Amino acid sequence: MHISRTGRGIAAATTGAAALVAAALATAAPASVATATPAAVPHTFAAPAVAGHALAHDVDSPISIAQCQAKWHINCYTPLQYRTAYNLNSLYRKGITGKGRTIVIVDSFGSPTIQHDLDVYSKQFGMASTKVSVVKWGKVPPFDPKNGDMTGWAGETTLDVEMAHAAAPGARIVLVETGVAETEGVTGLPEMMSAEKSLIDHGVGDVITQSFDATENTFPGVDQGDSSSIQKLRYAFKDAARKQVTVLASSGDDGPTNGTLDDSGDYTKQVNSWPSADPLVTSVGGTQLHLDDQGNRIKPDSVYNDYGAGGGGVSHVFSRPSFQNGVKKIVGNHRGTPDISMSAAVNGGAWVYSSYDPTAVGWDVYGGTSESSPLFSGIVALADQVAGHRLGNVNAALYCLAKHKGTGIVDVNDGTDNTYGGVTGYKAVDGYDMATGVGTLDAPSFVKSLAKAARR
């Protein structure tokens, strides 16, 4: 969720990471050729989870929490504060930075300035930057800063890349840009899935993060009980499971509901979205952090529910997977989301730098589960490094860890909820709930525990 567009920034030099993608993708489809997808794949609209709420303007650089409160009545957090909040610094001091692991980020259109923007972002906060390897998949049109669809996705791209880097500064980043036209009925998700499968087949990526979704009910046939249109899109996730690649997705920003087919608003009933609801995917929901200037918590996390709300609820397509058998009293016979949550609230949003729009170069504050999924991708990269191998689907491990103390799972149970748009949601209570999943995490214990509990 886009909260603010602020002032001007400065340029900085890159300190790139080791090249990986070029050789691995040497046999992938050329950018000038539309890539093939399995037959009879539906044409379903895929929207970025990021959405626009401009509240801040004309600030030359990130400002303090107190200044954010005075100006916009929200908290604004830096990556340094997030690192303290999740106790990441102790891992970095041990050399656990995600080094040797690769995060794949999938976005439509991408951003033409992503490397420069990551460099500026990193320099601002005293972090080393990393090389962003860009893969253009299919016919990606030239970037037009006057095109609202493209700038919306560029904002999403910027948030994804900078949050992943904030959590795993030593990880490689591969940005896959797809040529999705933002009009209804035009192929979107099939191109994304085709791109993901190709990278997986070429050994590129240990964890994939996806900040996009489409409401299950908007897929052809789902309202009539026919889920084949979704089933035909799952081939990339099945491939990821075979190759032990972890796949994540934002749980959404509309609480227990989500957007209608014509994108004119939300359903007036509880619905869920894909790919978040897919059992082969880890659904990452949203919390609200309450931090002081140093990044220390001044009170426990609550449910993200301000300019949006953390997505969560039961799938209308997928039955309860075995890893959720222990929470069947909560999810019933269906797949429940989210699985785990990290920072996503707008009141507690992340500072992000971008320059893809030459008329609005500078610092933004973003929130939404577009933030939490890439943050968690960084956490998975850290655990991959500790384990010395890919962890694959981590869902079973998450629910197993939640049963035990000292594993780094931190319950969110303050009674706040994700009710949104007049649709009743779910409360954060003791144990698993469909507001924040198993809860959030304390990185040192969680990374170590996840590395042991996931695939060996």
Where residue 187 falls among pLDDT bands split at 50, 70, 90? Answer: very low
Q: What is the pLDDT of residues 97-141, one digit of tens each?
A: 999 999 999 999 999 999 999 999 999 999 999 999 999 998 899
Helices (H) and strands (E) in the chain, counts: 13, 18
- In the chain, % of residues over pLDDT 70: 85
- Does 40 have pLDDT greater than 90? no
Report residue 82's pLDDT band, with 50, 70 and 90 as the boundaries.
very high
Strands 212-215 and 273-274, by their bridges, are: antiparallel
- Enter the CATH code of domain 54-454: 3.40.50.200
- 386 pLDDT tier (thresholds 50, 70, 90): very high
> What is the average pLDDT across 151-164?
95
DSSP, residue by residue, 390-443: -----HHHHHHHTTSTTSSEE---SS-B--BTTB---B--SS-BTTTBT-EE-H
Q: What is the pLDDT of residues 235-249, one digit of tens each?
A: 999 999 999 999 999
Q: How far apart are CA 387 and CA 453, in angstroms?
A: 10
Top-confidence range, 2-6, 48-52, 57-61, 224-228:
224-228
68 φψ region: left (φ > 0), alpha (ψ -120 to 50), beta (else): alpha
Who wins on pLDDT, 298 or 29?
298
Place of tokens 């990556």: 79
Q: Work out the pLDDT band at 163, boundaries 50, 70, 90.
A: very high
Mean pLDDT for the stretch of residues 364-368: 92
Q: Where are the alpha helices (DSSP H) in 87-227?
A: 89-93, 114-124, 148-167, 189-201
Question: Above 70 in pLDDT, residue 434?
Answer: yes
Per-residue H/E/C for 351-368: EEEECCCCCCCEEEEECC
Between 14 and 208, the more confident residue is 208
Is the pLDDT reported for residue 5 higher than 90? no
- The total number of residues shown for the chain amounts to 456
DSSP letter (8 states) at residue 2: B
Strands (E), 348-429: 349-354, 362-366, 409-410
Lowest mean pLDDT among 58-62, 171-175, 283-287: 58-62
Average pLDDT estimate for 263-292: 95
Q: Helix 443-453 and helix 369-387: axis angle, to 10°?
A: 60
By the 8 A CB rule, do 298 and 292 touch? yes
Over the chain, what is the mean pLDDT?
87
pLDDT of amino acid 455: 61
Cα distance between residue 161 and residue 173, in whole Å: 7
343 DSSP β-pair partners: 287
Query: Is residue 276 scored above 70 in pLDDT?
Result: yes
- Compute the 3-state secondary structure of the chain and give helix, strand, coil in percent, each to the nearest 5: 30, 20, 50
Q: What is the mean pLDDT of residues 58-65?
A: 83
In this structure, which amino acid lies at residue 331?
Answer: V
pLDDT confidence tier of residue 180, bands split at 50, 70 and 90? low
φ, ψ for residue 447, nearest 5 deg: -60, -45
Domain ranges of the chain: 54-454
Backbone φ and ψ for 325, nearest 5 degrees, come out as -60, -30
pLDDT-above-90 percentage for the chain: 78
Written as six digits, the tokens of 82 are: 């997030």
The DSSP code for 227 is -
The per-residue pLDDT for range 318-342, each reduced to its tens digit, is 999 999 999 999 999 999 999 999 9
CB 372 within 8 A of CB 312: no
Region 73-90: mean pLDDT is 97
**Average pLDDT for 59-68:** 90
What per-residue confidence (pLDDT) applies to 164? 98
C-alpha closest to that of 134 among 167, 97, 160: 160
3-state secondary structure of 264: coil
More confident residue, 421 or 15: 421
- From residue 439, alpha-carbon distances to 225, 339, 369, 409, 425 in Å are 32, 8, 14, 7, 16
Separation CA 182–CA 228 (nearest Å): 23
Q: What is the pLDDT of residue 49?
A: 56
Per DSSP bridges, beta strands 440-441 and 409-410 are: antiparallel
| Gap between the Cα atoms of 159 and 371, Å rounded | 7
Give the span between the Cα atoms of 117 and 9, in whole angstroms: 9
pLDDT number for residue 454: 74
The whole-number pLDDT of residue 37 equals 37
Write the CB contacts of 287 (distance below 8 Å, at least 6 apart in sequence): 301, 302, 303, 304, 310, 341, 342, 343, 344, 345, 372, 412, 436, 440
The pLDDT confidence band at residue 188, using thresholds 50, 70 and 90, is confident
